[in-house]
Every structure is written in structure tokens, then in C-alpha cells.
Chains A and B, each alone.
Chain A
Amino acid sequence: MDLKDLYQEIILDHGKNPRNLGKFENFNKDAKGHNPLCGDKVHVYLKVDENKKISDIKFEGHGCAISMASASIMTELMKDKDEKDVNELIEDFLKMIKDNPDLKSNLISEDDKTKLMSLSGVKKYPMRVKCATLPWHTLISAMTNKPGEVNTEKED
């Protein structure tokens, strides 16, 4: 195991200075994620327009570098994507974190893929996978208007 794989520069940067942090006025979807055992919290806000496109996305929350970086990178990549693409990216990311060696989707640029793959370091740290996946499951919840808080300590 190598800590450098887990705490890559991109992660440390996004962890320390998360992008799209905050809330905006006219969101029309949102969901909360909370891992009570470790205390990580994330609240995702979305503005989904009439064409089912995410026209704005932000998040509030606090937690470890992994969960904050994951939320930050996720919000960057999801902006201006439509529902179908959002779902494809979420599925691709969650499969990569669990089993797949790489991202399969061609929806994002090579640079963005590199950014997203920086989170793959958690694969070697099973206890930390839930930190990386919390914002993504929270995004699913917001998109599908699922009631209740998301908790990735209970599910993969």
C-alpha cells in the first residue's frame, strides 16, 4: 500500500479547497448524506432544468479529505450533464471504485478521467470506500427524489 496513491495532489487540493461548496437559491432538488459512524456529512443541491439537465450543482458538508474531494470533483463533472449522462457517470464511477480497473464512459475528457481516477486510491483502503461514494449516492438520491438520508456505511 502506498499513501501517495490515496492522498494524491488532486485529492489534497480538492479536499482543502472544495469547488462548488455552498448552497444556491433556486435549487429544485436536493438530498443529504450522512455516515454517522465517521461523521461525514454532505448535502447536494441541484437545479435540473426542463431538459433534465443539471444547470447548477453545489454541495455543503464536512468530512475527511476523501469525501470532500469526491464531492468537489463530482460537482465539477456533473454540471451541464443531462440525466442520462449523469446516471451513466455515476454508474461508471461506482463500478470503478468497486471492481473495474478503469472508467469506461466516454462522456468526459481524458483530463477529467484522470481527475476522477485520482479517487481510485481508496480501493486499497476498504474502510475508506464509503467516504468516496457518499456524495455520489447522495446525488442519486437527489436526482430520484428519494426520501431520507443516504448512508454508505450500510451499503456499498
Chain B
Amino acid sequence: MNIKDIKKEFPIFDNKVHNNDLVYLDSANSSQKPKVVVDRIYDFYTKEFSNVGRSVHYLAVAATNLYENTRVLVQKYINAKDPNEIVFTKGATEAINLVANTFGQKYLKEGDEILITELEHHSNYVPWYYLRKSKGVKINFADVDENGDISIESIEKKITTKTKILAITHLSNVTGAILPIKEIIQLAHSKNIPVLVDGCQGAPHLKLDMQDLDCDFYAISCHKMYGPTGLGVLYAKKKWLEELPPYQGGGGMIGEVKKEGITFGDLPNKYEAGTMATAQVIAFGESINFINKLGIEKIEEHERELTKYGEEILKKNNSVKLIGSPKNKGSVLSFTLDGVHPHDIATILDEDGVAIRAGHHCCQILHEKLGLAATARASLGVYNTKDDLDQLNSSINKCIKIFNS
């Protein structure tokens, strides 16, 4: 892959930040968008716009086809069995809320347990937390180890006869740990526990195969996959989508509506109430085409090499403490600096055009465990190069110089 050519496909890099070239190291937060995706939104609104699934006129039919075409692209991208197993949501957060809400409503009762891990992003804890009050369920946390990893044993240890669902991240947005998710799913299934995978960091960086993974639910954030904001995907096995109740009520998700009662629509409409993020869905199709054109395996390889390089240079820097050294690490380099608070690091790096994130990265449980109020995080995307990581390192040295002068 020629990264310089790939970078040219992202218009954001034509801009300067504080008169410097942009070194974007915040893709775990949100990735930048290639021109094809931006153009697709413009073209849809200027040439093809109509609401989908309602009217019979030419534009409505064409828009519906485009919308459904993305569903098939997603299905193929993650190798789901059926396009009806793909539900569009307003984000991965809503995808997890959908499952917590409907699964909780139908299957959970007082005393039941939900198992998550200490690595989880708030979006894979808070939706389940609500069920503590409404259903009286208990939430258990599998322990993260000193490497920032979750082992199969740590999951096994926390499974009880009352565990009704396991909700777990694929790739940690703080430690970068890629979990042995397939083995974990096999373990949970051997005890009849369904599994939701938070794939926010998995989907943009790892090759996915839902049929091979055999997970019950997989949540995807489209804006982290070079796609538009305001859009997520919930993959769910068909049997769950058929069994679970609808999430939100409104237009488009119904069968027949009468004063005496309502029937609900077929899949996937049952879970897509109201006018959806049509332009975003259609543009997201271009994100998938973009990834497919490069090849997710090639992206994975490039990012693995970069992560390794980043680890190497930061380890050589004596003032830097890397957070997490999991067995299998992907695309995330979290760190602290002796004597410099992460927010001061982020401000100083920003001056050089280096965009990183500082804070708890929506993982307060993990930060508490690590005994840190905040960390700095550099995260990678397909457009990053070794030069970007060299610039990161030299800007880190500038921080040290300012604070130790």
C-alpha cells in the first residue's frame, strides 16, 4: 500500500493546523473521511434525494435501492448470513442500548447477572447499568490483568449459573488489547450464554467474519470506519431479531396499526423506526468500498507494523510510560509522561499539529483500576505513517523540555 497516495484521498490533510501539517492520531475517537464518502453525501442530496421505503416515485425507489445496497455491503463485509441481520442505528451506542433494552425487557429478571469486563467503554457498561434499577440485575466485571488484557480464564472465573449475557469489547480503546473473542464466545456458548461484542475498535481494523465468530450481537460505529457520523450498525443473529421485542416505535417499523392493536414489520424494518440517517447509510457504502479496495488484511498489516514501530520508539523514550502491553495489540498507543499531565501533553502536541486524545477515553472503570485519572492516547488509521509517529515522539520530547526546563 502506498500510504502517501491513500492520504491524498482524505481532503482534511490539505489543511494546516497551527501552520503545521496535520498529524492525526485520534482515529480511535473518530476517523477522517475519504473524499468519496464526502462526495457521496453531496451527490445524494443534490441529485438523488428522497426518503426511503415509503413512496413509489422514481427517486424514492432509487434511494431505497441505494440504502438497501449498503445493508448488503455491510453483510458481506462482516460475512453475516443474511442482510436482514444488519440493523442501522444512530451509532454503536444505540446498537448496544437496543440490545440491553430489548434483551433486558424480555429475558432478565431480578437476581440475573450480566457479565462485562473492566476494559469496557462506557457505552458497553452504562446501557446495562440501567437494568440494575429497572430489573434488579447484577453486573459483574471480568478482571483486566497488569498487561491491560482480558484472559479467557478471567471470563470463566466470573461466569455463574445466573449469567444471562456477556458483553465484551473486541479491541480495547485504551490498552489496544485484541481479545481472544472467538474462544471467549465458544466458552460462553458452552454455558448457553449469548455474547454481545462491542466492535467499535474491531470493525475498522480487523477482518470480521460473523459466521466464524458466531457471536450473537456485534455493534459497529460507522464514523470510526472512515464513514459518516450519526450512524451505527447492529449485527444480530436472525433468531434474536425475531424473538426480541421492537426497540422504538414509529413509522416504518409496523405491520398493521389499529385502535385495538398493532403488529410489527418484518426484519429489519422492525428495528428501524422513523426516517433513518439515509444519506449517511448510502455514504457508508462508499466507506466499505474504500476499505475493500485497499483490503482489510492489508490495512491490518500496515497498522500492526505501525503499532509495533510506535511501541518501539516510545519504549526507547525514558520519560514515556506505555499503558498496556497485551499479547495482541492493535492501533492504540496510550501513555503517560513523568511530571506532565495528559491534558498539558495534548495542548503542547496540538501546537505542532499532532492531534491526540487525553482523558479517560470513556473508560473510568479501567482508569480507576490503573490508578490513573487520565492518559494520553495516540491511535492509528490507514493514513498514518512512521513519520507521524516520529513527529509524535519529537513533540513528546518538546513537552518534556518545557516541563523540565
Contact = CB atoms under 8 A, between A and B. Distances in A.
Question: Are A and B part of the same complex?
Answer: yes
Interface of A: 1, 3, 6-7, 12, 16, 37-41, 62-66, 125, 127-128, 131
21 contacts: A1-B18, A3-B347, A3-B351, A6-B347, A7-B344, A7-B403, A12-B402, A12-B405, A37-B359, A38-B358, A39-B360, A39-B367, A63-B373, A64-B342, A64-B343, A64-B344, A65-B340, A66-B343, A128-B343, A128-B347, A131-B343
Contacts of A38: 343, 358-359, 374
Interface of B: 18, 339-344, 347-348, 351, 358-360, 367, 373-374, 402-403, 405
B37 to A, nearest CB: 27
Contacts of A128: 343, 347
A66 B359 contact: no
Contact of A3 (B340, B342, B348): B348
Contacts, number: 48
B343 A16 contact: no
B203 to A, nearest CB: 25
Contacts of B341: 63-65
A27 B92 CA distance: 47
B343 A12 contact: no
Contacts of A66: 343-344
A38 B373 CA distance: 8
A83 to B, nearest CB: 32
Which 6 pairs across A and B sit closest by C-beta, in order of nearness?
A64-B341, A64-B343, A39-B373, A39-B374, A65-B344, A64-B344
A125 B346 CA distance: 12
B366 to A, nearest CB: 13
Contacts of B403: 7, 12, 16, 65
User: Which of B18, B343, B359 has its CB near the most chain A CB atoms (within 10 A)?
Assistant: B343
Nearest to A41: B373
